[in-house]
Structure 1
């Protein structure tokens, strides 16, 4: 991969696992210095070692994305260690399945707190930093194809990921005058630790694969290049876009 992002400072929330880790690796392979924001510091440290093997600087920052002071402190530390912010990826998220009639308010709030409140707090902090720097930048909001359809047992997750679409569009409009772009990445079925239970269900995998024109699920590594594309500061006119990477699932 070309080192098109050489010297860029990027943040990936939830970047120590799954698609988030893949996005962080894609940035590092393109030359960016990367900060991983997550709660599991041991797992983050292991990913940092992999990132540094690409010849870039990387750091693991302990952060609860739904806690306002934690987010502000994480940004200060990131900029102190790696330099001015160039790209921010709001990726952190959780899922808890339960039938709507049995879903507790606590479960609903826990999922929305991380996925939607966390997305707001993190992108707001990134926006403040970009505006103060006056140098432009890129924000990537990670949603999901579940924002396109209903899914039984996933009321909280679906609502949170759909809400991120509105957040991302607003960021694109509001921050354009500051030369800050915001695009929304919408991944399809991808083999990650978050959905191991679904991967173990042969009927489910067969059904979703049959509906996917590419006839397979994605591997996380397939998000390297799209991340580099969305983070590239040369793409000054590309904002407000929803980039769907789902093997054709949502159009079939």
Structure 2
């Protein structure tokens, strides 16, 4: 996949999926703006890209704080003349059940994921429209946002909101030839190490041990397994792909469905509570919808 001539901005690129994608973008020929809250981590990724013959610059900024998105986009324009792709990957976890979740944890998770993605998407869209020629917005969703997950209500809400923004933005930017998609990655990272079922596998990966094949078949892989989907979505080969949520992880590539009605009943004149109770068995005849991310690893 050839990304020669393209300029890519990747947020949260100091570690994990962001880092793996920044390196993959560089190998594919893109010039890369590497953002991370940790400036040393961002510069280390830049050094890896340039050591391999690529071009990259680092921007230390906390995504979700005012001005950080604009600083990243400005760095792309000042360093390389334009922006072609934004991969919004920055994120944090503060998992807890509803009754134990404090406001500061809510604000941090929603501010980084949802507000941060909004601000980065807005800054990138403004640049795309000003320079012309299209572009690609690639957002980061999560199985938790698609299915829910115990102890991750705030994170799930933020990730679900990102997919909602993606669908709307894909409609708003179609005239500008800007594609907007979300990836739904399942990879072992330091963030997923907080999930008890995944923690042993993260430790094994960090020791350099290969992942069990059954785990890969279920869609759990490494950050390097996720990066190719982002490279594809940034390429000209994906110009016709927009408004989609695409899963990637381990040996699995998937297309997620959009929410849709699964059963509809009509009642002339409308529904009373009693009528709903009487008709409920028909509404639920095919079963209620499942919730929760499977964690049988």
Q: How high is the TM-score relative to the length of structure 1?
A: 0.89
Quote the residue 2:137 is aligned against.
Answer: 139
The answer as to whether partners of 1:57 and 1:82 remain within 8 angstroms in 2 is no
**Superposition pairs for residues 116-195 of structure 1, below 5 Å?**
116-188=114-186, 190-195=187-192
Cα distance between partner residues in 2 of 1:39 and 1:156: 21
Give the gaps of 5 or more residues in structure 1.
none
SS at match of 2:182: strand
Instruction: Give the aligned length.
Output: 244
Cα distance between partner residues in 2 of 1:141 and 1:134: 21
- 1:74, distance to aligned residue in structure 2 (A): 2.5
Cα distance between partner residues in 2 of 1:42 and 1:88: 21
Q: How high is the TM-score relative to the length of structure 2?
A: 0.76
Cα distance between partner residues in 1 of 2:134 and 2:219: 37
The answer as to whether partners of 2:137 and 2:180 remain within 8 angstroms in 1 is yes
- 1:68, distance to aligned residue in structure 2 (A): 2.5
Q: Deviations over 1:84-115 (max 9, x none)?
A: 10111111111111111111122111110000
Find the partner of 2:97 among 76, 96, 99.
99
Pair 1:177–1:215, CA change in 2 (3 A): closer
Cα distance between partner residues in 2 of 1:236 and 1:200: 37
Cα distance between partner residues in 1 of 2:238 and 2:213: 35
Cα distance between partner residues in 1 of 2:52 and 2:149: 39
Cα distance between partner residues in 1 of 2:137 and 2:28: 17
The answer as to whether partners of 1:8 and 1:32 remain within 8 angstroms in 2 is yes
Find the partner of 1:75 among 73, 76, 91.
73
**Superposition pairs for residues 1-252 of structure 1, below 5 Å?**
2=1, 4-188=2-186, 190-198=187-195, 199-201=198-200, 214-215=217-218, 217-246=220-249, 247=251
Give the gaps of 5 or more residues in structure 2.
205-211, 257-293
- 1:75, distance to aligned residue in structure 2 (A): 1.6
Quote the residue 2:271 is aligned against.
Answer: none
Q: What is the aligned-residue RMSD (CA, Å)?
A: 2.3
Structure 1 stretch displaced more, 122-131 or 80-89: 80-89
Cα distance between partner residues in 1 of 2:116 and 2:216: 33
Pair 1:50–1:117, CA change in 2 (3 A): same
The answer as to whether partners of 1:19 and 1:220 remain within 8 angstroms in 2 is yes
- 1:25, distance to aligned residue in structure 2 (A): 1.4
Greater relative contact order, per chain length (Cα 8 Å cut-off, separation 6+): 1
Cα distance between partner residues in 2 of 1:216 and 1:98: 25
